Amino acid sequence: MNTAAPAIPTATIHPLWLRITHWINALSVVIMILSGWRIYNASPIFPFSFPREWTLGGWLGGALQWHFAAMWLLALNGLAYLALNLLTGRARRKFFPLRPKEVARDMLLALKGRLQHASLADYNAVQKLAYLSVIADLALIVLSGLAIWKSVQLPFLREVMGGYDNARVVHFFAMSFLVLFIAVHVAMVAMVPRTLLAMLRGR
Ligand code: HEM
């Protein structure tokens, strides 16, 4: 006699670990950016500063403490996200194959406002490219940040970044890309609110 319970079709779109790491990442990224702007203001590399009200930490010392605290959250959570994605094979399933032809086609459809997101379980080619780009960008942010923070202890990393001063420029532009990604990402989520429900509830 077969006593096994009948298989219940499960509609989980985002597993719990993915949702937890996504929201921890979003929180730590926002803290890093706002405190980073306060740190930048103490010694700007371009002829402008960020409005004080947009920054976190109050003063340079406070902002550094926020930045270093959130740095551990970002790096450890990012490592967990990468490890789980690679070990479960999810990264391969979700983000690949990624063909330039499909990116061009989906980009065109997106610009015409006709890009569909019918199945929340599958990313279109533009999403795949955007998510892979922001993951690479976050890795670059962490590495350039390490080159600035420990420039004497990590000479190889410092030199790869083109020296201490250049590492600050790399860090700044990687942050700028991240801010652009967040603006577009949140706008896209607002256009398809069902995706937010799935990222909260998993289903
Ligand atoms: C602040 C920095 C953020 C970063 C770096 C970020 C990054 C990402 C990445 C890489 C993915 C794909 C994850 C995967 O499948 O492995 C993703 C998905 C998603 N994110 Fe974010 N995210 C951020 C903030 C937000 C915010 C504030 C919201 C909500 C307003 C949001 C809502 C979503 C949703 C709904 C998805 C699933 C998209 C879909 O199914 O089409 N994210 N995000």
| 103 φ, ψ (degrees, to nearest 5) | -60, -45
- Nearest residue (by CA) to ligand 1, atom 11, is 131
pLDDT of residue 115: 86
CA of 97 relative to ligand 1 center, distance in Å: 20
pLDDT of residue 149: 97
pLDDT of residue 1: 46
- Nearest residue (by CA) to ligand 1, atom 25, is 26
Under-70 pLDDT residues of the chain:
1-10
Sorted by sequence, the CB contacts under 8 Å of residue 65 that are 6+ apart come out as 57
Which residue has 């532009």 as its token pair? 173
| Rounded Cα gap, residues 25 and 27, in angstroms | 5
**What is the model's pTM?**
0.92
Ligand 1 atom closest to the Cα of residue 18 is: 16
pLDDT of residue 7: 47
